[in-house]
Amino acid sequence: MLNGKQATIGQSADPEKDAILVDGKPVKREQHIYLILNKPKIVVTTLADELGRTTVRDIIDIPERVFPVGRLDRNATGLVLLTNDGEVANRMMHPRYETAKTYVAMLSSPVTPQLLERLRKGVMVEDRKVAVENPVKVNLNTVQISIHEGRKHVVKKLFVQLGTHVDALTRTELGPLRLGTLKPGESRKLTPAEVSSLRRALQLEK
């Protein structure tokens, strides 16, 4: 049955919007779960680690199978999204949707006006320029930047190109999601409003 009427062969239906009954029972659609975690240092952003190191899966307290979207270095901290929504995960990692990622980097040297200017111009990492949005000096040695790409170690490499070194790195924002007051090791489910803004940012809903 589709929306109270006998369904016909070849008819299409949307499990998000249509009422679908098979043998009188509603068809269950997979319940999507979205969690944000403040990853502490030392924890790896994988589901299983061949070296037996603690993974993000080990430190979240839910029975459902969720997987981390993208990666964050072992010695970095901050926002990691975990979900079982493959569509959201794929889009977040697809360059077309240009998900912004904001990082706070503590450097081994002071944040100078020259450094901010070079960041604003974009920085070549390997053979591609990383566009840096809105670099802001946070304090003497600490700077906040937003980028739209997820190449491995890209933030660390970018600062090496500028003649300095990242001593500590935290991701504070991912698309419309904010780390907020979550402490390292803490996680929470996204609110329905956060899920909607995430899906809108990824053009999965209007």
The DSSP result for 81-115, as a single string, is: EEES-HHHHHHHHSGGG---EEEEEEESS---HHH
CB of 144 to ligand URA, least distance (A): 13
CB of 11 to ligand URA, least distance (A): 46
Which one of residues 35, 36, 60, 72 is an interface residue with ligand URA (CB under 6 A)? 72
Whether 14 is a known active-site residue: answer: no
Which one of residues 44, 155, 195, 201 is an interface residue with ligand URA (CB under 6 A)? 155
CB of 103 to ligand URA, least distance (A): 6
- Do residues 135 and 116 make contact, with C-beta atoms less than 8 angstroms apart? yes
- Do residues 100 and 133 make contact, with C-beta atoms less than 8 angstroms apart? yes
Q: Which of residues 125-154 bind ligand URA (CB under 6 A)?
A: 153-154
100 binds ligand URA (CB under 6 A): no
- Do residues 34 and 190 make contact, with C-beta atoms less than 8 angstroms apart? yes
Which residue is catalytic, options 18, 58, 73, 127?
Answer: 73
Choose between 132 and 155: whose C-beta lies nearer to ligand URA.
Answer: 155
CA distance 58 to 43: 9
Q: Dihedral of the CA atoms 74, 77, 99, 87 (nearest 10)?
A: 70
Task: Catalog residues that contact ligand URA under the rule CB under 6 A.
Answer: 72-73, 76, 153-156, 169
